[in-house]
Amino acid sequence: MKEKIGIIGGTGIQNSALLGENAQDITVNTPYGSVHLLQGELGGKEIYFINRHGYDKAHTILPHCVNYQANIFAFSTLGVERIIGTAAVGSLRADFPPGSLGLLGQFMDFTKGRKSSFYQGTLLEQGKFVDMTYPYCQELNRAFLSAGEKLGIPLTKDLVYICTEGPRFETAAEIKAFALLGGEVVGMTSATEAILCRELGICYGSLAMSMNAAAGMAEDGVEDIVCFDMGQLEEKIVALLTAVIAALPTVRQCHCQKWSQGV
């Protein structure tokens, strides 16, 4: 059976070259709703792509309205064992300016009112207290770092991600507080996806793309946050994803599945 890899593209990332020439639209029904995916093939592996914010430019699904449960469950139904998500972020680090790429190592979850768990029922459900000490798959992160080195694409590693509820941007005071806590980048999606993946034993890695200096970190006011043109990064991202997907060992050698068993 072919290996199955999921990709969640967000702001600025289209399916582009990652799906090969014979990409197909498919719909997967889940207990959480139906999900529209693109299915293709890359380097002999089956690739499933979800555009996190939807496919209709006129009706973008905002980060707090994404049906995260349905998306991750759909991948699981298809037999996907590894998911790579792209994450547009604001940067709290001067040395991670707009246009930089990095890998998330940790997150702090400040979302509220989202369904961030598949476990909504009885206390006897197995695996409810999953181990999130290391929320991102270390094998995926290592594969990204060696692909980056080979391709000459610098990647900042072990970034600490602050996940906010959105869709508003943060206040300058919030960003100051997040920086004191150790936050390095801020976004609105990655923590929720990482948690749901861990609950289902799916490996998850997050490629962070710095879009702007976080609120209050640059001269401009929040309303003047300059969004980096993600199109400029797309070529590098496609090259990285292609190399990572080719390099991943068929059998997972990470701890994600063990950590999903819970206590």
Residues that bind ligand HPA (CB under 6 A): 88-90, 164, 169-170, 186-188, 211-212, 214
Measured from each CB, the residue nearest to ligand HPA is 90
How many angstroms separate the CA atoms of 164 and 168, rounded? 9
Residue nearer to ligand HPA on the CB measure, 90 or 205 = 90
Residue nearer to ligand HPA on the CB measure, 21 or 219 = 219
Query: How are beta strands 203-213 and 101-110 bridged, if at all?
Result: antiparallel
Helices (H), the chain: 68-78, 138-151, 172-181, 190-199, 231-247, 256-260
Minimum distance between the CB of residue 90 and ligand HPA, rounded to whole angstroms?
Answer: 2
* Other beta carbons within 10 Å of 70: 20
The secondary structure element, H or E, covering residue 90 is strand 82-91
Residue nearer to ligand HPA on the CB measure, 40 or 98 = 98
Minimum distance between the CB of residue 91 and ligand HPA, rounded to whole angstroms?
Answer: 8
Minimum distance between the CB of residue 186 and ligand HPA, rounded to whole angstroms?
Answer: 4
**In this structure, what token pair is assigned to residue 165?**
């509820």
Minimum distance between the CB of residue 100 and ligand HPA, rounded to whole angstroms?
Answer: 13
Residue nearer to ligand HPA on the CB measure, 147 or 233 = 233
* Other beta carbons within 10 Å of 21: 7
Minimum distance between the CB of residue 8 and ligand HPA, rounded to whole angstroms?
Answer: 15
Minimum distance between the CB of residue 236 and ligand HPA, rounded to whole angstroms?
Answer: 18
What are the backbone angles phi and psi of residue 150, rounded to the nearest 5°?
-65, -40
Among 8, 19, 135, 119, which Cα is nearest to 63's?
8
**Is the Cα torsion angle 186, 234, 103, 66 positive or negative in sign?**
positive
Q: Decide if 28 contacts 35 (C-beta within 8 A).
A: yes
Residue nearer to ligand HPA on the CB measure, 28 or 217 = 217
How many angstroms separate the CA atoms of 220 and 216, rounded? 7
**In this structure, what token pair is assigned to residue 86?**
């792209």
Residue nearer to ligand HPA on the CB measure, 7 or 188 = 188
Minimum distance between the CB of residue 209 and ligand HPA, rounded to whole angstroms?
Answer: 9
Q: Decide if 74 contacts 35 (C-beta within 8 A).
A: yes
Residue nearer to ligand HPA on the CB measure, 209 or 245 = 209
Q: Decide if 68 contacts 114 (C-beta within 8 A).
A: yes
